[in-house]
Structure 1
Amino acid sequence: MLIVSQAPALAGSSALSPDKIHKSVHADLAGDGKAAFWVRLNNSADLSSAKRAVTKTDKARLVYEAKTTHAESSQAELRKLLTAAGAEFTPYWVVNAVQVKGGDRALADTIAKLPQVLGIDPVETVEFPADAAPPAAKPKPEAEAEYKAETKREGKPASKAKAASVLSWNLESINAPRVWNELGTRGENIVVGNIDSGAKFDHPALESQYRGRKANGTVDHNYSWFDPDRLCPTEAPCDDRSYGTGNLGVMVGGEALGFRVGVAPGAKWIAAKACDEVSRCGDSALLASAQWMLAPTDLGGHNPRPDLAPDIVSNSWQTQSWAPWWYQPLVEAWTTAGIFAVFPSGDLWDGGCGTTSGPGAEAANYSVGIYEQDGTISRLSQRGPGANGEIKPNLTAPGVSITTAAPDDTVLLTNGSAIASSHVAGTVALIWSRAPGLIGDIPATRALLDGTAIDVDDTRCGGTAADNNIAGEGRLDAYAAVRDAPVVPAGTLSGTVTGPTPPTDPTGRIGGVTVKVAGPVTRTTTTAGDGTWSLSRLPAGQYQVGVRHYGFRDSAVTATVVADQTATAHVVLTPSRTSIVSGTITVGGQPRAGAVVSVLGTSVFARTNANGRYQLQVAHGAHTLRTVSSSRCENTVYRPINVSGRLTDNAELPSRVDAFGYMCTPGPNNYLQGLEKVTPDSNFGVNITLPFPFTLYGQSHTTARVSSFGYINFASNYTIGLNTKLPSYQNPNGSLFAYWRYLSLDNRSGIYTGTYGTAPDRKYVVEWRSVHFLRDKTKRLSVSAVIGEDGTVGYHYRGIDHPDEAGASTTVGLENHNGTAGFEYSFNSPDALRNGQSLTFKLREPAG
């Protein structure tokens, strides 16, 4: 559901150009005088050259060039104005828009007066509809009975698939095995992109299909993973909601626990995480993810590569209204770039006619409804018509009781039109793999899907027996679609990459090298550990083989592929020159020791000394420097550099700040002990009364409940040992999580409280002293949480002498009272804490 503030226009606000400024932005500005908003500009890039291009590679490149050039030009005056005003803003090129954060009335008024500005719109959030919720998760343990039961569980989601068959009904229903066995394709050489809640990249059914996994077994997440809001605890892909992993499983998954789950298990996947743990998808994250799909970047968001755009993009989110203002120009850009985009029709039980959801409801978007195992259209599948009376959905696919991959490396059963649309994404991968001449030809591919679908005669919502608003063109038939696809003569191209210096094996062959083959189609692969590579199903013709590897100069050769033969292309690389890159890393203007500065995508790194200084020997060329602080209180910083000689590059690491304004600072140990021992009750907690009011996320408290499991709860009496990410809609909320995990007390342990100081500078201490891990008394430590009368919170740690004690299976941070905001210092991170460490959380000082 699209959540939009709909406040009425305000009296006396005519100076703010009401014809351009949305009333929700007016309302936000009337509150605290600040608002985040979108600025839409009134013209768009000329994509005519891209529309005339023949190959998908040329289409993508020309769309990227036209869009970025146009944005630089048309947004120049606005960007200059925002920079001069000191405003925080993010320009986008995939649509002609700029997002402004924290703008005031005067700034909004000035922007609205620019003639090129079409409108100023609110920042919005898309939420997965409640009826499309993921499979039931493992229940939270509450109180003693659940706590004891939890110690005996395996920790798997409750709705695991239990069928004994190896091949699920949905794959047989669309005839996917016939494609694999009779037509000889499983989606090889095709890349599918997914915009969703993320992915479990090392799931047994997905790990070999991940484009970031190289032929030599190493993993490089650059250009294969995008997390615009940095929701994952590390740079690796994660999935905290199961949608993304499940949808990818149906698209390209292999085998897990004896189940074959994917339509196109030979295809590769990449993903962008636009949605969070509570199923909210911010429009800025969706737009950034969609833009990234057109030109994937490295992990720092730099060095975009339109040549690495996926062939297909699956969109799992939906709205109860139709598409947001920014979505149609985005889909036009995808389509013009030769990317096939697929959308769910929406999930609403017995929703009736005219209920189909955006953005799939739009005429330009290919949307998919749901049918069940017996072939009937599911009551969950939303019906058309769509925008302007368009027949919707376009067709239907299996979407009930579908076995797929789960984020915990197992499998689960799931439902929904997003899962149904994943079948179509996988089918397009099969079509384009067998018939590469169709790659990038969206109209012909849609016609093929439509023309081979099995008709469903149901005209209750309008349409005909062959094309109606309940089943669209009918039920998906992957075999018929792939069978009828025009096949062109194709062959294989193989080769080796060698170099005269390390990193090579004794024969000079180099593993992990990126090889790009461009001709009638474009493909990218990497060399195996012995320097070899091979690409099959390449349409006959001439190709340029380009090779890129850190530490060597780019090189290229040409090769000709002949039908039903194997051509070879061998490349010898020449080492690059190197130069010194050095600088100083600071936090708040002060040197930060122990920060790690690395060249992204390489093994080159250095750690800053006590003066914050680092020095690297870097190959000449364009790179991205990544700087990771020694504390999780600061954001990781990425900086593009171009090395042609000695270079100085300094960086200031910005503090992490949560949505409410909390930030943290590291410091030397100032451990305060509790003074009086308190005894937990039978529900593993003890109620306390504070000696002064304490404000957490704007709410004042004088009482709390201390859990034996390392946290202090101000919102409820929940005592739960199984930790989660922050923020989370699940209990407990409104808490200080000093060291949240299953902990136990014995005769050496205790919970202690105490008060230090005098008003108005008192501190109240809660100490978990010498507590040990559940079922492991050798893992023992002490944690002190210090609540300040000034609203600050301190966490202090003693006795951490094992990696498991340093944050594995543990959550550290704080959270508001309904799970919508929180500061997650760490989640299940075995290197997050160290002995003697202290953390202080406080609200950011107001600007000015």
Structure 2
Amino acid sequence: MLRRRLTAAVTALAVAVLAPAPARAEPAVEDPQGSPAAKVAGEVDRDLAATGTATVLVTVAGEADLGAASSIAERSGRTSSVYRAKVDHAERTQRDVRRLLDARGATYTPFWIANVIEVTGDAALLREVAARPEVSRIDPVGHVMTAEPQRVAAAGASDVDLPWNLTQIGADRVWHDFGVRGEEIVVGSIDSGAQFDHQALVRQYRGNLGNGTFDHNYNWYDPSKVCGNPSLKPCDNNGHGTHTIGTMVGDDGAAAVPGVAPGAKWIAAKGCEARSCSDPALLKAGQWMLAPTDLNGRNPRPDLAPHVVNNSWGGPDEGNPWFDEMIDTWRAAGIFPVFAAGNDGENGCRTAGYPGSSLLAYGVGAYDSTGAIAAFSSRGPGRDGSTRPDIAAPGVNIPSAYPGGVYALMDGTSMAAPHVAGTIALLWSAVPNLRRDVETTRKLLDASATDAADLTCGGTPADNPVFGEGRLNAFDLIASAPSVGPDGVVATVTGAGAPLEGVKVALRGERVTRGGRTDAAGRVELGRVPAGDYTVVASLFGRVTARQNVTVGRDGAATLAFDLTATAPWQQVRGVVRDPAGRPVAGATVAAVEHPEVSAVTDAQGAFAIWLPEAEHALRVSYGRWLADRVVDVTVDGPENVEVALLAKTNPYGYTASVEPADWIGGGIELSSTAEPVALPFPVSFYAGTYRSVTVHTDGYLTFGPSADTDPAVYAFRDELKLDAKSSVRTRTVGSGTDRRFVVTWSRVLVKASGARVDIQAILGENGRITLQYKGLGTGAGAGGSALVGIGGGAAFGPLTYSADEPVLSDDVAVSFAIPGTGLLRGTVLDANDRQPVGGAIVAFSSGGPTSSVVADGTGFFQVRLAAGAAQLVAGHRGYGTLSRTLDVPAGALREEKLPLLAGTLKVAGSDVTMTVPAGKTRTRTVGLNNRGGMPTAWTAQEINAPVPPATEPGKVLQTMPVPAIERAGGVAYRNGELWIPDSFVWRRIGRYTLDGKLIGIGQTGFEAKLGDLAYVPGRDLMCGVNQTIEFRFPIQCFNPETLELVSTLDGDWGGDFNFGLAYRAADDTFYLADSSQQTILRIAGLSHPEPGAVLSSCKPAGVQEVRGLAYNADKHLLWANNQDVDPDKERIWALDPDTCAVQGSVADPDPADRSAAGMDLDPSGNIWLAGRRTALETGSVYRIDGATPAYSDVPWLTLGRNAGTVPADGHADLTLTVDTTGLAPGTYTAVVMVGNDTPRTPATPITITVVVGSRMT
């Protein structure tokens, strides 16, 4: 799902690429001085400069209070109350701004679903608006995209005859067993429209009057008037909306049933003009969903609002509040918001699109018919590290309705989201009391989802950023829904002849369990259930429980009556509470869940005793600290004994807490200061990182990573502490081998809250275990009464807290944190020939789950956490073979491995060949090529008609630099000793690197950009790139490299479909632009020309297909170009004459993957930097290549036996050199044969051939 703006992005200040962590362009906000200019996004200023006017969205501060409205139970009253509250708030807070606009005669449209006004005006007007104190920001109007289907194909009749996706989620079982198909529910669609008279949709359209006529008032809305002006009936100029509606409710009344809830009705608002959806259209559509209007846009009817709205559109989160406000308003009105998660999953984690990534929305990912996640399905984590998507649904090969009365198969999260919307329609049809209860419905969807373990992006098997809570399960959702509606099982409960309120009634059967409580009339409705035998239990605290067995027929209904007059006898319940190791837990609280006043505390042996009336009870056992609460069910029908085993606390990352006897470690070296990084004696793996240093803080905690004060952190005893003359902080290393421990001890530190002195110790284990222990704690604050104890992994991974402001620490108990069932693997990747490290190697792992990978550092080092047990490991690097190894990862320990990669070598036996040959004769000499490596070596031999070899080797790979922070490298540019690498898949994203591969930072451009090749313009200090827009134009856009704000755009009539490669020629201020579709290279006028962007000349390089990157060498007047081809052997880097495109030579493409070539640039030494956007090692890379001009040329008197070949591993090959002196005058002739190879460490070897030609013998 791509949210792409046609105008520039809404940001006023794009974050420059300076920080060593991902940064996001922040919206313009009022500065501390209240400057109006600070409220206006920079793109608005550029629009004004270009055209004199701009259309903007003006945000007015403040949101309506919807608390009272959202508590109204009755549907039409609730929607009407929310509508009135929003309209009144907008009219009140926008009043003065509207008066100003009226006074100036401005064109504007106020909104109330979000507190914004669309305004068109000049600079003077917008300055006045910005000066208003209630205005918080002014942004350009943008567009978003529908979550474009990944594939569209024709579908036959058999494809829509109960398709796989409906049976997979159990929709057909819901229809059959519960007898509901979505009746009484209305689903809304904000999309590209609908073919309302499609045979699969027409019967379910709310505007169908049933007599062959239609009333489109309140059922259709076209804010942009795409379908006509006036727009009097629905249309769909894209097909997307028709397909999604078909998935929600489709049914042609015959064989084709593509919809989850074919008994529901649908209405639609065309928020998407075609593929794109403008912000105003979406906001108008969002308003209309809460209060549908007639075809004139008047007479709003909130009572006709739909129950659920499907939204298969979205994109990057740009920080504006509009859509969050819209969704929040829907939720307050009881309208369920379903959103597609997006189709950017192939770009990796953190690709979930907005608004689907918002915590307010219910985001949906996609999986295929095998249950595997779709490669395109966007992943989380989302905002604040939250798990996104919420759930996954079928989204591959989905058949549904398509304009023209046909059916089509589509792929995408757009196709997955309507499955969830349709499932909610089934649920709310079956369970009327859940209607408008958005929060409970979310919880039920989450709880009933089928777990799908995919930890690629973190999380747990039950809740992860790939599947969310799991796969959608419509049948289990409805079967588990509590207290479900009329016309089903109804129970009435009395006591002493009077109705009893609050009685718990539970229904249990083979497939269904339901529950509810009686109302003031003593009545509870459990809804329809599948036919079968059930037990129904009615219970009230202190009364004798009543049970009845009932057989429910096919109508799913039954009526039961219970009398709970009798008082229940009380019985003693005894038990013992134990920890995971079986040890008794003293001090745990055991309480009845529904009556917590009935409770007891365990003694030193973990024993407890409480009295409860005979009935079924739930007991909550709580201890805190390192143990998680547990609820156990007990049936009391006499004296009972209960054994309760508590489980350890576990956080989302997998860390678990435990306790053990303290074992204090004394001694150590005193630190001279705190808050400074301390070198670790061994690498420490903590959460997702491996660290070589730790920062020790005075206040009793340790932090890792670049930030000195934030997570990831170990909170040994975080409190306001003081170091004085009696205090010290010491470090010490104990242990040996791979079982060492780094000990940090705060001795005699003063707790400011109490004046107590305590000793605190944090122990970092080489095996990843963290232990905290204490001495001299005392009580109160000294025992942790004002301290935080635990570990923190940041928002993405969550904390694990042992205690917070609780005096529960003791001298004899140590607290530990570890990830059970895992171990650490530490490795070094080596060259098998010389045993030297191989930096930048890729090491991939699989231990029963998804494959993950890591990049070895410059010393070949890596350290990763894996599931304990057998693991498959594959290591590789360019020029090396891949090493596969199966190894056993020890639980709770560290294993070291050395990974030698095989590679070839090449030694030429004799680099100087001298022959004396009479004139007119031939002689042959053989040169040996020896490979002592463990891999075959491919070699090439090229002639150079010169007496000495070149100083360098053209095309030699000098450096390989993985760039895993960039999803797909689209280009590379050199500027002031740094590399700039745009991400060709993540819009607006650009990385900044040092020349040795260290990430300086990630930022976002202040304009909507999907950049490919880059070129730096030093005279103006501008970075320019070819930008692929959603209209498939390819302008050259130049931006300020410090602010990332757009400065200039060159957009000429260049023709062609795909312009990618870009290079800059400073001498005449021109750009070279490659049109890969026409195989043409254009020379484009730069910014100083009278017509910037004009085509000055063009040429076509013969035999070079699909140029993707360009770089210009001014010293040699040489244009380098690389190309893509499905055959990687045809991908090369070409030296071209810039004026004619004549090929001057070529060198090999360093990336072995097909179609890998992307942008390129030159550094001041003339070396080529080349981006590989996809590689055989599954991570993007940048290569530095020797940029010397290829000097290869034919030597007329020399013939090589072969120009290329392969030397087998530990083998030998011969290269024959034949000299023919025919026509040569007597004298000495010298030439060079350059023998190249594909080994990672052996340089090319020049063979100097000297021929002395004597006089012809007579």
TM-score, normalised by the number of residues in structure 2 = 0.36
Verify: 1:166 aligned to 2:161, yes or no: yes
Paired AA for residue 8 in structure 2: S
Verify: 1:190 aligned to 2:193, yes or no: no
Residues 134, 241 of structure 1: 8 Å contact kept: no
Secondary structure (helix, strand or coil) at the match of 1:475 reads: coil
Paired AA for residue 2 in structure 1: R
Secondary structure (helix, strand or coil) at the match of 1:255 reads: coil
2:425 alignment partner in structure 1: 429
**Separation in 2, partners of 1:489, 1:276:** 40
What is the number of residues matched between the two proteins?
Answer: 472
Change (3 A) 1:564 1:303: farther
Residues 21, 119 of structure 1: 8 Å contact kept: yes
Secondary structure (helix, strand or coil) at the match of 1:2 reads: coil
Verify: 1:126 aligned to 2:138, yes or no: no
Equivalent residue in structure 2 for 1:245, among 237, 242, 246: 242
Verify: 1:335 aligned to 2:337, yes or no: no
**Separation in 2, partners of 1:35, 1:220:** 38
Superposed counterparts of 1:533-548, under 5 Å = none
233-242 or 14-23, which deviates more: 14-23
Paired AA for residue 454 in structure 2: D
Change (3 A) 1:9 1:205: closer
Percent of aligned positions that are identical:
44
Verify: 1:35 aligned to 2:48, yes or no: no
Paired AA for residue 485 in structure 1: A
Residues 9, 26 of structure 1: 8 Å contact kept: no
**Separation in 2, partners of 1:282, 1:56:** 30
Verify: 1:379 aligned to 2:379, yes or no: no
Change (3 A) 1:373 1:15: closer
Residues 322, 359 of structure 1: 8 Å contact kept: no
Secondary structure (helix, strand or coil) at the match of 2:154 reads: coil
Residues 16, 109 of structure 1: 8 Å contact kept: no
Verify: 1:463 aligned to 2:459, yes or no: yes
Residues 274, 289 of structure 1: 8 Å contact kept: yes
Shift, 1:171, TM fit? 0.4
**Separation in 1, partners of 2:234, 2:221:** 8
Secondary structure (helix, strand or coil) at the match of 1:90 reads: strand
Verify: 1:104 aligned to 2:122, yes or no: yes
Paired AA for residue 481 in structure 2: A
Verify: 1:5 aligned to 2:1, yes or no: no
Shift, 1:73, TM fit? 1.3
**Separation in 1, partners of 2:67, 2:441:** 21
Residues 323, 360 of structure 1: 8 Å contact kept: no
**Separation in 2, partners of 1:9, 1:183:** 55
Shift, 1:455, TM fit? 0.3
1:77 alignment partner in structure 2: 96
Shift, 1:165, TM fit? 6.9
2:265 alignment partner in structure 1: 268
Superposed counterparts of 1:157-556, under 5 Å = 159-161=154-156, 163=158, 166-233=161-228, 234-255=231-252, 258-277=255-274, 279-321=275-317, 324-348=320-344, 350-490=346-486
Superposed counterparts of 1:740-779, under 5 Å = none
**Separation in 2, partners of 1:403, 1:188:** 23
Shift, 1:161, TM fit? 3.8
**Structure of higher CA gyration radius:** 2
Change (3 A) 1:293 1:119: same
Change (3 A) 1:164 1:251: closer
Shift, 1:349, TM fit? 5.1
Shift, 1:260, TM fit? 1.4
2:79 alignment partner in structure 1: 60
Verify: 1:89 aligned to 2:105, yes or no: no
Shift, 1:489, TM fit? 4.8
**Separation in 2, partners of 1:488, 1:444:** 13
Residues 39, 100 of structure 1: 8 Å contact kept: yes
Shift, 1:258, TM fit? 3.5
1:612-640 deviation per Cα after TM superposition (whole angstroms, max 9, x unaligned): xxxxxxxxxxxxxxxxxxxxxxxxxxxxx
Residues 388, 465 of structure 2: 8 Å contact kept: yes
Shift, 1:55, TM fit? 2.6
**Higher helix residue share:** 1
Paired AA for residue 462 in structure 2: A
Change (3 A) 1:32 1:428: same
Shift, 1:164, TM fit? 5.8
Shift, 1:484, TM fit? 1.7
Shift, 1:418, TM fit? 1.3
Shift, 1:29, TM fit? 1.1
**Separation in 2, partners of 1:564, 1:215:** 34
1:424-445 deviation per Cα after TM superposition (whole angstroms, max 9, x unaligned): 0000000000111000001110
Paired AA for residue 159 in structure 1: A
**Higher strand residue share:** 2
2:1211 alignment partner in structure 1: none
Paired AA for residue 465 in structure 2: N
Change (3 A) 1:216 1:20: same
Shift, 1:491, TM fit? 5.5
Superposed counterparts of 1:593-612, under 5 Å = none
Superposed counterparts of 1:793-808, under 5 Å = none
Shift, 1:344, TM fit? 0.6
2:860 alignment partner in structure 1: none
Secondary structure (helix, strand or coil) at the match of 1:36 reads: strand
Shift, 1:363, TM fit? 1.4
1:759-798 deviation per Cα after TM superposition (whole angstroms, max 9, x unaligned): xxxxxxxxxxxxxxxxxxxxxxxxxxxxxxxxxxxxxxxx
Paired AA for residue 219 in structure 1: F
**Separation in 2, partners of 1:456, 1:329:** 32
Residues 160, 399 of structure 2: 8 Å contact kept: no
1:20-67 deviation per Cα after TM superposition (whole angstroms, max 9, x unaligned): 111111111112211111111011111121122223322211110101
**Separation in 2, partners of 1:185, 1:410:** 27
What root-mean-square deviation, in Å, do the aligned CA atoms of Structure 1 and Structure 2 show?
2.6
**Separation in 2, partners of 1:264, 1:299:** 27
Residues 16, 108 of structure 1: 8 Å contact kept: no
**Separation in 2, partners of 1:88, 1:316:** 31
Shift, 1:218, TM fit? 2.0
Residues 149, 410 of structure 2: 8 Å contact kept: no
Change (3 A) 1:323 1:169: farther
Shift, 1:178, TM fit? 0.5
Residues 16, 105 of structure 1: 8 Å contact kept: no
Secondary structure (helix, strand or coil) at the match of 2:184 reads: coil
Superposed counterparts of 1:145-156, under 5 Å = none
1:737-764 deviation per Cα after TM superposition (whole angstroms, max 9, x unaligned): xxxxxxxxxxxxxxxxxxxxxxxxxxxx
Shift, 1:247, TM fit? 0.2
1:21 alignment partner in structure 2: 40
Secondary structure (helix, strand or coil) at the match of 1:444 reads: helix
- For structure 1, the 5+ residue unaligned runs are 137-157, 493-536, 539-562, 566-697, 701-848
Shift, 1:162, TM fit? 6.3
Residues 9, 27 of structure 1: 8 Å contact kept: no
Change (3 A) 1:440 1:272: same
**Separation in 2, partners of 1:111, 1:67:** 22
Secondary structure (helix, strand or coil) at the match of 2:187 reads: strand
Residues 206, 253 of structure 1: 8 Å contact kept: yes
**Separation in 2, partners of 1:255, 1:490:** 29
Residues 324, 359 of structure 1: 8 Å contact kept: no
Paired AA for residue 125 in structure 1: H
TM-score, normalised by the number of residues in structure 1 = 0.53
